[in-house]
Structures are given as C-alpha cells and as structure tokens.
C-alpha cells in the first residue's frame, strides 16, 4: 500500500507538472485594424509595443481574413471553419444558431486542461458563448475604477448621441436601432486610458490573468479583444498628440479600380451613420485628415494597452512561457479606392496584421511573405499547446514557419464577401426600411452603376440577395469571381484580376487582357483551400 500511495502521488505530480509545462496563451484580437503599424512599414503609426513583439517573434506580411466583416471573420477564426462551412455571412445571425455543436478553439483547449477567460471583444457581440467557450469568469469589478457607461467621455458627445438616437428612432423606427444613430465619428478627451472601454478591459484582463497565475494549477488561455480602431474613433488626447496632423499621409489612390466591378465597393455606409459625416458625396479633405488622425490615435491607444498586458505577464513571471498571438479581424479602407470602411474583397480589406511569439520558436524578429489565413490560428495554437486538432478544422498550422519563415508554403489564401454595394454595412441584405432612410439615394446611385455595367444580366434578387464575391490571393495575383451563391458552378457574372507585381494597390482590373490566366486561376479557386496546401 505504501508503494501504491507513492506511485499515485508521483502520477499526480507528473500530471500537475505536465499541465504547468504547457504554455500559457495570450490571445489578442484587434477590431478593424489594418496593417497600419510601424512594424508593417507605416511611415506614421506610433506602435512601439506591437513593433517590439514583431522584433521578438514572427510577423506575417501576407495574412488574410476569410470575410472582411466582424462576425463571420471572428466565427471563422474561433471555429477554424470557413464561412462556407459556418454558413455565417453577416453580423445578424449567431454562430450557435447555425453551428450549435461546433468546437471552438477555447473549447478545445479547455477539454485538454486549460483555463479560458476573455475580456473585451473576441467573438462578435452576441456570440460570446458563455459557459461553453469559457470555463471561468473574468474579474467583474476593479477597485476604485468605474466601468465606462458610454462610448464617449465628453458630455457634449454623449448628448449628441442620445439626441441622434431619439431622432432616428422617431423617424425610422426599428431600422434606426441597427446603428443609424451612433453619435460623432471621433473624440479626443483628456482622460485616463480606462475612461474608454479598451483601457478598462485591459485592466480587467490583467487582474484575471493574475488570478489564474496565482492559482497555478492549469495553463491559461487569456483572450483580450480591443474594440478600437473600430468606429467610433475615440481615444485619450495624449494619443492624438503623438501625431502631427499636417504630416499624416492620406490615401494615394482614391478612385475605384479601372474596369472594376461596380458592385465591388460600397458607399461608406458605416461611416456615414455618424453625426457630422456627409450622407452623400465625397468627404472634405480636412475632415478626411481628421478621420485618419482619429484612426491613428486609436491604433496608438490600443498599442499602449497591449504593452500594459505584456508588462503584466512579465511582472507575474509567466512571460517566458506564454505564447502571444496578435491578429486583426479584417482591414479597413481609409479613403483607399474612394471608400471608408471594411466590407470589400480587395487587398486593403482582406489583408490583416498578424504576429506570434512562442517559447519554442527558433526564428526571432523575422518576417514571412508566406500566404496565411486567420483560420490557420486555431490549428497552430493547438499544435503549440500539444492539443489535438479537431477534424472539422479547415486551417493549416503555420508552426513550421516559426522555425523557417522562408520555406515554400500555401499557394493561395481565400476570402469572400456578399455584394458590398447592395448590402447594409453589417453585410446583411438591405431591409426595405433602409431605402426609406437617407441611405436611399446612395443605394440608388450604386444600383444604377451596377445596372449600367451588367446590362441584361441585372437581376435584383440575384444582386441583392445571392451574389457572392469569391476572392483568391496567390503570390502574384488577386482574382475575384462574382457569382450566384446558390449555383457555384454557373459562370460568374463578373471577373476581376489584379496583378500585384505591377499594381500592388489594385488600381486596374486586367481580367479582360488575360483570359487564359483567368481560366487557370478560376480553376485553382474552384478547387478550394485544400488544393492550395
């Protein structure tokens, strides 16, 4: 019995040590962040903490989301399944409504010995998956610090937002509740970081992480999701002050692609819902400059919060055994191609920042041009954590790139987006009420352009309800096939091809000049992601 007791104790110790030796994971999500960081070559962005991680870890120059809108992108990443599998193509349907049994990344980690908690925005709002993807609650209260009650810190902006909502709901009813009245697009207030939600959520995440470290019986998966630089662009004044307004470079290409798809771009719907933004026409150059300044201030604000989180890991003594992964859910047009917002199939909306550090990686401070996708994060973290990768996962672990960033890799990355020109800004189909709002003239304008381009192929039901743009990014090209989602084998109604060797800003659709190349690339796209491995 004595030896049996010793054996049991030894086994228990071994199991405990095994758990302790598993790496922790700090999982950082950033909303609407395009690769506008110093480490990505931005000439203006002040992002020292993200840049520091890039110098220690691996930065992905060519990482792509699966759909350039919040809910589908995050659902795809968190489940390891692509939009065609999840069935989630817009923001107004929940993940569990469509996929009640799919195993998410934190779910899988929990099943294999992890504690998982989150603060901020990880899944899209409404998809938090409480009690399933998370097995412990985050710290609810911070002593001496009040939770922000409004997106704005300044009373005058809070008043504008309230008045806008009252007016819009009185005028348009339920349609206004989906974001028609959001207050001003930006704010600069001389307030502490925690006066806005990202600063507050960072403090919560730090306290939650400290609790998990103190308990020490399990490795942790700590997810922290920043809402900025999503609209509204609110940040403490000190981050605005980091920039010389007159030196901020503006978009160099502000026209739609020559010969491009008329349905490829939207009318900046999301931005135009904000107070003080013109409902039609181009933005005044001074306003455009202010908006980009606001976006950059939010980038620096988020960078500072990330720095606080990493410093807390170091203070807790767990930095050396904590994988850190940073990702943005999609890109963002800042006047590029003449639009403001995400929600397109082009490079500026589908390309995202992504970087990783792990205790076991061999390559440090490197950059890779390998084509990778957000859906690849799930299997990568499973492999690094020694956790089985579920059969449903449609991504490909990029762990080998962390040792050899220059090795041959995927042949292509895949994204998709339903007709952005005739969808609401959350990618859902146009509601009848939207045509009755001040969006009506904008919708009519883009609809007319599509009708003129498509001629006899115009069909309202197809273009509003069923048209999907499928895009594939190879080493050199971006192909976009606009086709009926119900009949994927039918010829596309329009094709776009961009040559990144000669036209990295995608200013000209050259599909008509290279029919054989279009045919070859179309066949490759039709074979799908598995054939690209």
Catalytic residue list contains 17: no
DSSP assignment letter at 346: S
What CA–CA distance (Å, rounded) separates 31 from 165? Answer: 24
**SS3 category, 232:** coil
- Alpha carbon separation from 74 to 42, 71, 128, 395, 415 (Å, rounded): 25, 5, 11, 14, 13
**Helix H or strand E encompassing 523:** helix 515-527
For 340, the 3-state DSSP assignment is strand
Q: Any catalytic annotation for residue 70?
A: yes
Residue tagged active-site, from 39, 70, 298, 382: 70
B/e letters for 336-349, b = 16+ CB within 10 Å, e = fewer, are bbbbbbbbbbbbbb
Widest CA span of the chain, in angstroms?
Answer: 87
Distance CA 157, CA 153 (A): 8
Phi and psi dihedrals of 286, rounded to 5?
A: -70, -40
Strands 366-373 and 58-64 come out as parallel
User: Helices (DSSP H) in 216-266: which residue ranges?
Assistant: 237-240
Write the DSSP symbol of residue 157: H
Q: Which residues are CB-neighbours of 507 under 8 A, at least 6 positions away?
A: 253, 255, 257, 258
Cis (ω within 30 of 0) for the bond into 246?
Answer: no
Unique residue bearing structure tokens 């940073």: 326
Rg of the Cα atoms in the chain: 23
Catalytic one among 39, 65, 90, 124?
A: 124
Q: Which residues are catalytic?
A: 70, 124
């Amino acid at each position: 019995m004595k030896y049996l007791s010793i054996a049991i104790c030894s086994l228990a110790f071994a199991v405990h040590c095994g758990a302790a030796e598993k790496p922790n994971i700090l999982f950082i999500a950033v909303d609407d962040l395009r690769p506008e960081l110093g480490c990505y070559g931005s000439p203006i962005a002040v992002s020292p903490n993200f840049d520091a991680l890039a110098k220690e870890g691996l930065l992905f120059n060519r990482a792509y989301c699966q759909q350039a809108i919040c809910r589908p992108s995050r659902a795809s990443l968190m489940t390891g399944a692509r939009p065609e599998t999840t069935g989630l193509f817009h923001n107004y349907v929940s993940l569990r409504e469509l996929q009640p049994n799919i195993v998410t990344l934190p779910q899988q980690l929990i099943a294999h010995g992890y504690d998982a908690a989150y603060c901020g925005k990880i899944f899209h709002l409404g998809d938090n998956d409480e009690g399933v993807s998370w097995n412990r609650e985050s710290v609810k209260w911070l002593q001496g610090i009040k939770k922000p009650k409004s997106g704005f810190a300044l009373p005058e902006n809070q008043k504008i937002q309230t008045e806008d909502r009252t007016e819009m709901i009185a005028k348009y009813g339920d349609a206004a509740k989906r974001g028609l009245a959001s207050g001003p697009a930006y704010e600069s207030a001389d307030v502490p970081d925690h006066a806005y939600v990202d600063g507050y959520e960072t403090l919560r995440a730090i306290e939650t992480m400290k609790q998990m470290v103190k308990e020490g019986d399990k490795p942790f998966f700590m997810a922290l999701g920043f809402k900025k630089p999503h609209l509204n662009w609110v940040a403490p004044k000190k981050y605005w002050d980091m920039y010389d307004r007159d030196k901020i470079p503006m978009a160099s290409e502000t026209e739609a692609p020559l010969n491009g798809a008329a349905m490829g771009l939207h009318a900046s719907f999301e931005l135009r819902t904000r107070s003080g933004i013109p409902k039609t026409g181009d933005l005044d150059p001074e306003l455009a400059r202010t908006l980009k300044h606001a976006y950059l201030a939010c980038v620096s604000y988020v960078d500072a919060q990330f720095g606080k989180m990493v410093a807390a890991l170091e203070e807790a003594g767990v930095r050396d055994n904590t994988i850190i992964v940073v990702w943005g859910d999609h890109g963002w047009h800042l006047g590029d191609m003449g639009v403001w917002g995400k929600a397109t199939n082009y490079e500026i909306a589908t390309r995202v920042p992504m970087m990783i550090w792990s205790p076991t990686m061999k390559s440090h401070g490197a950059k890779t041009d390998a084509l990778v996708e957000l859906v690849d994060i799930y299997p990568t973290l499973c492999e690094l954590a020694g956790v089985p990768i579920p059969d449903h996962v449609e991504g490909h672990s990029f762990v080998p790139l962390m040792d050899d960033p220059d090795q041959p890799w995927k042949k292509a990355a895949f994204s998709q987006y339903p007709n952005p020109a005739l969808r609401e800004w959350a990618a859902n189909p146009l509601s009848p009420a939207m045509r009755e709002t001040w969006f009506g003239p904008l919708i009519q304008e883009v609809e007319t352009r599509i009708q003129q381009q498509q001629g006899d192929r115009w069909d309202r039901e197809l273009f509003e309800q069923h048209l999907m743009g499928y895009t594939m990014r190879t080493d050199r090209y971006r192909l976009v096939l606009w086709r009926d989602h119900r009949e994927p084998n039918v010829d596309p109604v329009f094709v776009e091809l961009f040559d990144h060797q000669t036209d990295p800003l995608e200013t000209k659709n050259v599909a008509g000049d290279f029919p054989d190349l279009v045919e070859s690339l179309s066949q490759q796209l039709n074979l799908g992601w598995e054939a690209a491995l």
